[in-house]
Chains A and B, each alone.
Chain A
Amino acid sequence: MTPLTPVRTVRGLAAPVVLTLFCAAVLVPFLSLLLASVQPAGTPLTGLALPRHGIHLENFAHAWSRAGFGPLLRSSAVIALAVVPAAVLCATLAGYALATMDVPGGGKLYTYLLLGLSIPTEVTVIPLYYDLRALGLTNTVPGLALAEIAAFMPFGVFWMRAHFATMPRSLIEAARLDGASSWTTLWRVLMPSSRPAVTTLGVLYFVWSWNQFLLPLILIQDPRRRTAPAGLGFFTGQYGVDVPSLAAATLIVIAPVLAVYLFFQRHFINGVLSGALKG
């Protein structure tokens, strides 16, 4: 062991100090919202205040029933249930083909799909609104779901293609020699060991679908039928001054996505990090 010189001590302390500061910076805003949510509604309050008048959980009940966040959460869940499995399936099939088969024009198709990564929602949302309205698909689940599936597809194909490209080719060739069709090869041979990649994609898709704001804001004009975050935006405009109610509603909207994150955090973090770096 080297003796602790002052320089070494400072260096040794720097890391924990920096990390603690970072964690505090992340936590304090959340904490002040949490504390605000249990204050009695309609009273003036200040930033980080401990609940002196008891813990008022009725803010949550109020947000859930009277402010209508129960139905909003349900429609968010319906959208996510429509989007996530469909998008994961489409991305898996395409990624599989692009990684292991001789797709005519495969390279060009892949580039075409990747272009979508730099298409912002702002550029698709205007015609989506007018075109879906012409088809009678505004204010509906399929309309919003299709728009989200389309927006999520580039990353999914990229992700699954990268995954299947890492699988040993001998595995695929052996299956083919045994007479397995490409379909059987995918589901019987490759999918059993693809669970982590598929789970990660599913988790990312769930979070993106849940958090999507601009698309539901425009494509679903009826505020009561929007998704939870879009409903929250509407609620902010109406009850912006009532901090406890707004805080409780916000926490209700965050809760599902937070639960999924805490449960699948490894998948989520690794997905974002390696998804970003595999490029």
Chain B
Amino acid sequence: MALTTHHPPPVPPGPARNRTGRHAGARRRRRRRATALLYVLPALLPYTLFAVLPALHTAYLSLFDWDGVTLPSFTGFANYRKVFSDPQLRAAAWHAGALVLFFSALPIFIGLVSAAIAARRSGRRGTAAVRTLLFLPQVVPLVAVAIIWRWVYAEDGTLNQLLRAVGLGRFADSWLGSFTWSLPAVGLIGTWVVAGLCMVLFLSGTQRIDQEIYEAARMDGAGPVREFWSITVPLLRPEIAVALSITVIAALSSFDLIYITTGGGPGNSTVVPGILIYRLAFGGGQVGLASALAVVLTAVISIAVLVINRLAREAP
């Protein structure tokens, strides 16, 4: 979950207590360094074999035209050219971008506003219970979240029932089956999932902020809106960066939610990179193209995380 990658200073070697001369001390130090490496090995080995090598293997596969069965043929960067020109793949990129609005921008805004409102309430009764509840969507598998929301969005589902109850029945729709509404509908599920996380994150951040800053601002006649933009938001910068990193990764690599709610449909209206990679590699017999898309997706995610952390560390 932590996504910043600043490196710790290497631990300075402890003072070698060499009683038996320099040679023995050096040998002991070498032994100790070897032992230290042994401790890291059990983590390094599975990580290298089952995460890093597969990722590199994907990069290798992306240079081939391969259906997964017959012999692959080398095609150089043809798959990458296709990733950037194929209309379906481009649509997937647009949808992923739209999901960033729903998974990142909207929840962070909601989280900030509600944290600003809730931070200075007098009674703190029930805060723990509220936290537990708001975090609930983080715990439930996304497949289950998707099923829950399929029912909310269904023709006879909760949302349409609500609309009819307040006299807006003519707006009722089959949300996930609509070319217009399916993408925002899926996006709002993402908003629902992460808004609570953002809010709890920001709430714990506001506890760090000195109340006197608010008092001083109020003395100077700052209203709640001014207070929000010039105190709460800038001071919550580290929390906002964390929320952005987590949610942007979730948006760009989303798969479970869409696979269960719409499967990418209707038509291609909710197709995202994760769905296309799955379809191309495990149904379409285009393993090379799927690999190229996966590599591009990873590159985009890494760059996004890097940029977010760079921006967060710059002085306000």
Contacts and interface: CB of A to CB of B under 8 A. Distances in A.
Given A150-B49, A156-B43, A254-B140, A213 B255 contact: yes
Chain B's interface: helix, strand, loop or mixed, by majority?
A: helix
Contacts of A127: 53-54, 57-58, 61
A52 interface: no
A96 B39 contact: yes
A184 interface: no
A142 B162 CA distance: 47
Interface in A86-133: 89-91, 93-94, 96-104, 106-107, 109-131
A268 B33 CA distance: 35
A123 B56 CA distance: 9
A12 interface: yes
Interface string A160-181: 0100010000000100100000
B214 interface: no
B144 interface: yes
Interface stretch (A21-29, A54-62, A64-72, A187-195): A21-29
A29 to B, nearest CB: 5
A113 B40 CA distance: 10
A48 B165 CA distance: 11
B91 interface: no
Contacts of B150: 236, 240
A194 B46 CA distance: 24
B131 A269 contact: yes
Given A102-B11, A150-B47, A97 B298 contact: no
A53 interface: no
Contacts of A262: 132
A24 to B, nearest CB: 10
Interface in B2-59: 2-14, 29, 32-33, 35-37, 39-40, 42-44, 46-47, 49-55, 57-58
Contacts of A104: 33, 36-37
Given A94-B44, A118-B302, A22 B158 contact: no
Contacts of A176: 14
A233 B262 CA distance: 12
Interface string A10-36: 011011101100110111111011001
Contacts of B42: 89-90, 93-94
Interface of B: 1-14, 29, 32-33, 35-37, 39-40, 42-44, 46-47, 49-55, 57-58, 61, 68, 114, 117-118, 120-122, 130-144, 147-152, 154, 156-162, 192, 195-197, 199-201, 204, 224, 238-239, 242, 246, 249, 252-253, 255-256, 259-260, 273-274, 277-278, 281-282, 287, 290-291, 294-295, 297-298, 301-302, 305
17 contacts: A18-B118, A97-B39, A103-B33, A110-B8, A118-B302, A120-B294, A126-B290, A176-B14, A182-B35, A213-B259, A233-B143, A236-B147, A240-B150, A253-B141, A275-B2, A279-B5, A279-B242
Given A106-B11, A210-B141, A211-B142, 15 more contacts: A25-B192, A29-B152, A45-B156, A94-B44, A102-B10, A103-B37, A122-B278, A123-B297, A126-B294, A182-B32, A211-B140, A211-B141, A254-B144, A273-B204, A279-B4
Shortest beta-carbon contacts, A-B, top 5: A279-B2, A47-B158, A97-B39, A15-B121, A150-B50
